[in-house]
Amino acid sequence: MGVVSSAISFERQRGREVAFSRRTFSARSTKLLQEFQEGAWEEFIVSEFCLREVANALWVAYHRGRITEEEARIGWFSLLQLNLRIFPDPPLSDVLDFALRYGVPVYDSIYIVLAQQEGCPLLTADERLFQAIADNLPFVQWLGDYGQ
């Protein structure tokens, strides 16, 4: 199902926060989740919007017959069991300003602006997003480089 690997979340490891953006990148995102469960990561921090996206992804997967209703509920419950720290979404005016300035969709900009506000790097599995902004925003990191 990969709910966690497709979730947008912010993580802190040994006092250093890292944001984790959506898109499935299962081997490395699974490694992040395993590290979190083993205590290597202090916490996962997510925006309120992230929870809406995950709930919708579960609904879409159910609606398209990829998972059962029970699996959707288990996926949601599993996400909540991660003891996520939920941050309010950044002000939409800040998000729109960022989106217009960098040409990044508003949905993606929510996570980037939140990472900026929290002063933490954004770790994304979305290589296209990474390529579009990495030169201007060095705090954005690609999940494909994680652990290398």
pLDDT digits (tens, 9 = 90+) for 17-61: 444 444 445 677 777 777 877 877 776 777 899 889 889 988 998
Q: CB under 8 Å to 81, separation ≥6 — which residues? A: none
Determine the pLDDT at residue 26: 61
- Alpha-carbon distance of 63 to 69, in angstroms, equals 9
Phi and psi angles of residue 7, each rounded to the nearest 5 degrees, phi first:
-85, 155
Instruction: Report pTM.
Output: 0.74
At residue 127 the predicted structure's pLDDT band, cuts being 50, 70 and 90, is confident
Name all domains of the chain by residue range, CATH numbers in brackets.
4-87+120-145 (3.40.50)
- Alpha-carbon distance of 114 to 106, in angstroms, equals 12
pLDDT at 65 over 80: yes
Mean pLDDT to the nearest integer, 75-91? 86
Position with higher pLDDT, 72 vs 37: 72
